[in-house]
Structure 1
Amino acid sequence: MDLTAPLLFLLKLTTLLVVLGATLWWVLARRGGHRRARAAFGSILLTVTATLVALGAAEAITRYAYRGVITTGDDRSYFSHRWMRTDVGPLNRMGFRERNFNLTPAPGVYRIAVIGDSFTWGQGIRDDQRLTNLLQAQLDTHGARFQVLNFAQPGAQTDDEVRILRESALKAHPDYILLQWFINDPEGHNFSGRPWTYRLLPSDVLNSYLYSHSAFYFLVDQQWNLLQQKLGMGAGYSYDQYMVRRFRDPNGKDSVAAQRELERFLDICRRHGVPVGIILFPELTSNLLHGYPLGFLMDRVLALCRARGIPCVDLRPVYAGRPPAELHVDRFDGHPSALANRLAERAVYAAFAPDWTRLAQHPTLTSPASASGVRGSALHSAVQ
């Protein structure tokens, strides 16, 4: 962790406090004499000390009361940092949360590379609870030799996944590539229109430091953001409203750019002769089948899958009807829970495993897709 910014902030804060303290002492001494200055200064010091003790107690109580919280929706909070220190092991040589492996598969091994974001990476869950590990365990029961490799990166957008595909996944000589897609993938790295709220404190450095080191500050910040939403402060619109406004028009420049980036991923797979499938994750909310405001984004990907003959698993029906609390890691983190990953694994396994097993047991077999330069896959249209 780079401590330069926090240390610089503390140096500035200390300097400011010294200057303010000296100025206050001078003013008090000048107006009331040294005796009154000492008394007033002592009262101020007592107040500051009591405040710090109260904040320390609040922090201790918060950490104890919320000890069951695993992570939060981002990786910057105190809870997420704590989880990553205690539950996430070292990354492999390529920088992924995956075991080390030889770039060249052993003879007879059917290698599946899964590329995605924090949903596939496994935010808030153990390695063995992730989609990729569950797929590995199920495929191992077939007797054929499979290797499912996790190439996920938290926060990855489609352009990041193109880079991971080129720079990492293809170097591992996969027999199949699975792309995990989420509804924020079309954004790319232009987040300028996202909903915003006023900061709790006027310093970026102090906000960032306290957010990542204090459970109490995280909770206060959450309540501050909720209050702003209720009062219509800040941006005044939700994330879903922002996405609808930005991508509603399929011919708009942002929609076209997002489609082009996804097609670039698929084209690279085709040029390298590696079959590809897509797993579509929705937001884990309660209205996935009827009235889901961002469903049109998933429908566009499904249409692309049908047009290209690419297998595509839509997880909306899988999660529909399930209470969101069951599907979330915890109350502060909407990432897929262990249960949500098991449900996804069953759907993905049912859609892809028959083809993988056939090709792993008979590697000389080809499919209609092979004739167009794509190796191996006999799966047909989108699975919905």
Structure 2
Amino acid sequence: MPFTTMWPGIATPGSAKARFASSPRPNWPTDSLIDEIRLISWKWLGRGTMPRMARKLLASASLVLFGVFLAFGVLEVAVRVMGKAPPTGEPAFFWQEDARFGWFHTPGAEGYYFNPPGEYHAYAKVNSAGLMDREYSVEKPEGVYRILVLGDSFAEGLRVPMDTAFHSILEEELNAAGKRVEVINAGVAGWGTDQQLLFYREIGRKYAPDMVLLAFFPGNDVMNNAIGLEAANFGGVKKPYFLLEDGKLVLRNQPVGSEPGPVDIVATPAPAPDPIPERPRLAFLRPILAHSAFYRYFVPRLRVLAPRFALKLAQWGLIEPGGETSDARQGPDYIPLAYGVYKTPLDDPWLAAWRITEALLAELKREVEVDGAELRVVVIPAQPQVEPAAWQHILQTYPAMQAHTWDLDQPNRMLADILRRQRTPYLDLLPIFRAWDGPTLFFPIDGHWNERGHRLAGQALFDWLQADIP
């Protein structure tokens, strides 16, 4: 019977081909070049009759493997020597479920907060009142002007040391100018204007602020305020929310869980089949690789720079499934929901989200002024608005976005129109951040401000507010 190998020709008796053909083969798959090489090596290495071609092939493979290990070793040493090794373990967790707001800080929680790429590694501690700040007495000291900062993760400031966050910079600059000022930080990650209004009602007003400074982030605050969008993004209703009924705000689902979810959750595309096999073939290597500083440094950056390759590595089991896998599960038409705030024209759910946002801003202003204080708004810029390369990367990562028209200044214009109608003083930081000509103001992967960004924001707020504070 004729015998065919990876080389042309006939397997003559006594030849290496014939011995290879007649030997029993182990139960290995043979559907790739690598598998065939494994079979050949098993036959010839066992008999000490390795042909010259195979010896050269093995030598070349050994050199390549040696080069790979050498390069990996050099990079491993470089990452460690340069202090770029990301922390091991898990970052501290500072939040707990809260029936009033959905979630809130755990009083006394402390520890180091960091992300997988190791872009930041900052210590933080929640004070006894659940605020991400130093301790303040509820009763305002005599002769002190108080500013209460409301906001989300940009105001919360976990990614930088607390004394370098913008609220601390503002307090430091105002006091250095001869004023007696306390700037109390009440920012909480993920909160929208609705939760900030509820916090002010429940806790914030007890501090008797003279000014409430709302740090509004158009990048997701509008979405947070509309429960249909928020629930679609969050995967369910996790918080109290407001609806507009006959032009009036109506509070629902407080305490959290007291009402069924809304029926108007924004529809999202059906998910694609899971791209990750049930048992990736190389997953057994992952615990070993996790000890490498270079591996921990490289993988999070690979997910951003080459998500398709990262998906392949996740399919093989060499890295944990991450954002690239979540995106693949959404299918080729996936567009992250939050970017809808930049789409033009806006879809109907976003128009409704802006209406409820306007109502929430009006109600917060009304309640603050009833208490004898002033509401001001600082508008927080997003990284894609400031850095064109960041927006281009988003468009490349989600090709379906290229079929639509986007306007990165649209949310800032719409918010400015609302605040002017309501006669609320505001400072838009977007032009200030765009005019900056130094190093980046953002953590490139995380997207929040770094210490330079906080310093620039704090200084801009000082310049804006100092003349109006006694």
| TM tier, smaller | 0.5 to 0.7
Q: For residues 219 and 243 of structure 1, do their structure 2 counterparts lie closer, same or farther at Cα, with a shift above 3 Å needed?
A: farther
2:186 to 136, 142, 151: 151
Answer yes or no: is the 8 Å Cα contact 1:115–1:178 preserved in 2: yes
Answer yes or no: is the 8 Å Cα contact 2:377–2:427 preserved in 1: yes
Amino acid at match of 2:221: D
Provide the residue aligned with 2:442 in structure 1. Answer: 328
Provide the residue aligned with 2:379 in structure 1. Answer: 280
Q: For residues 87 and 309 of structure 1, do their structure 2 counterparts lie closer, same or farther at Cα, with a shift above 3 Å needed?
A: same
Provide the residue aligned with 1:68 in structure 2. Answer: 84
Deviation, structure 1 residue 180: 0.2
Provide the residue aligned with 1:248 in structure 2. Answer: 346
Q: For residues 308 and 252 of structure 1, do their structure 2 counterparts lie closer, same or farther at Cα, with a shift above 3 Å needed?
A: closer
1:88 to 86, 101, 123: 123
Amino acid at match of 2:460: A
Q: Distance in 2 between matches of 1:78 and 1:147?
A: 25
Q: Distance in 2 between matches of 1:199 and 1:103?
A: 53
2:366 aligned with 1:259: no
Amino acid at match of 2:373: V
Deviation, structure 1 residue 299: 1.2
Answer yes or no: is the 8 Å Cα contact 1:180–1:278 preserved in 2: yes
Secondary structure at the aligned position of 1:313 is classed as strand
Q: Distance in 2 between matches of 1:328 and 1:156?
A: 20
Provide the residue aligned with 2:223 in structure 1. Answer: 187
Secondary structure at the aligned position of 1:114 is classed as strand
Deviation, structure 1 residue 245: 4.5
1:219-273 residue CA offsets vs partner (Å, 9 max, x unmatched): 5466457655799953535446533349825883233233323333223223323
Deviation, structure 1 residue 112: 0.6
Amino acid at match of 2:165: R
Q: For residues 82 and 261 of structure 1, do their structure 2 counterparts lie closer, same or farther at Cα, with a shift above 3 Å needed?
A: same
Answer yes or no: is the 8 Å Cα contact 1:246–1:254 preserved in 2: no
Provide the residue aligned with 1:128 in structure 2. Answer: 163
Amino acid at match of 2:179: A
Segments of 5+ residues of structure 2 without an aligned counterpart are: 1-26, 28-68, 94-111, 225-229, 236-266, 312-326, 392-404
Q: Distance in 1 between matches of 2:469 and 2:154?
A: 23
Please give the TM-score of this superposition, normalised by the length of structure 2. Answer: 0.52
Q: Distance in 2 between matches of 1:147 and 1:78?
A: 25
Secondary structure at the aligned position of 2:447 is classed as strand
Secondary structure at the aligned position of 1:88 is classed as strand
Amino acid at match of 1:300: M
Secondary structure at the aligned position of 1:336 is classed as coil
Deviation, structure 1 residue 138: 0.7
Amino acid at match of 1:286: E
Deviation, structure 1 residue 352: 1.4
2:333 to 236, 239, 248: 236
Segments of 5+ residues of structure 1 without an aligned counterpart are: 1-27, 29-53, 358-384
Q: Distance in 1 between matches of 2:300 and 2:82?
A: 15
- The share of aligned pairs that are identical, in percent, is 21
- Aligned positions of 1:1-384 closer than 5 A: 64=80, 67-68=83-84, 79-80=114-115, 87-183=122-218, 184-188=220-224, 189-190=230-231, 191=233, 216=295, 220=299, 223-224=302-303, 227=306, 233=328, 234=331, 236-239=333-336, 241-245=339-343, 248=346, 252-284=351-383, 285-287=386-388, 293-322=407-436, 326-329=440-443, 331-357=444-470
Q: Distance in 2 between matches of 1:293 and 1:263?
A: 26
1:21-74 residue CA offsets vs partner (Å, 9 max, x unmatched): xxxxxxx9xxxxxxxxxxxxxxxxxxxxxxxxx9xx9xx879748843779xx9
Q: Distance in 1 between matches of 2:373 and 2:363?
A: 14
Q: Distance in 1 between matches of 2:163 and 2:128?
A: 20
Deviation, structure 1 residue 351: 1.5
For the aligned residue pairs, the C-alpha RMSD in angstroms reads 4.4
1:111-143 residue CA offsets vs partner (Å, 9 max, x unmatched): 111111111121321111111111111111233
Q: For residues 78 and 178 of structure 1, do their structure 2 counterparts lie closer, same or farther at Cα, with a shift above 3 Å needed?
A: closer
Secondary structure at the aligned position of 1:269 is classed as helix
Secondary structure at the aligned position of 1:258 is classed as helix
Please give the TM-score of this superposition, normalised by the length of structure 1. Answer: 0.62
Looking at secondary structure, tell me which structure has more helix per residue. 1
Amino acid at match of 1:280: V
Name the structure, 1 or 2, with higher relative contact order (CA <8 Å, separation 6+): 1
Aligned length: 293
Q: Distance in 2 between matches of 1:275 and 1:148?
A: 14
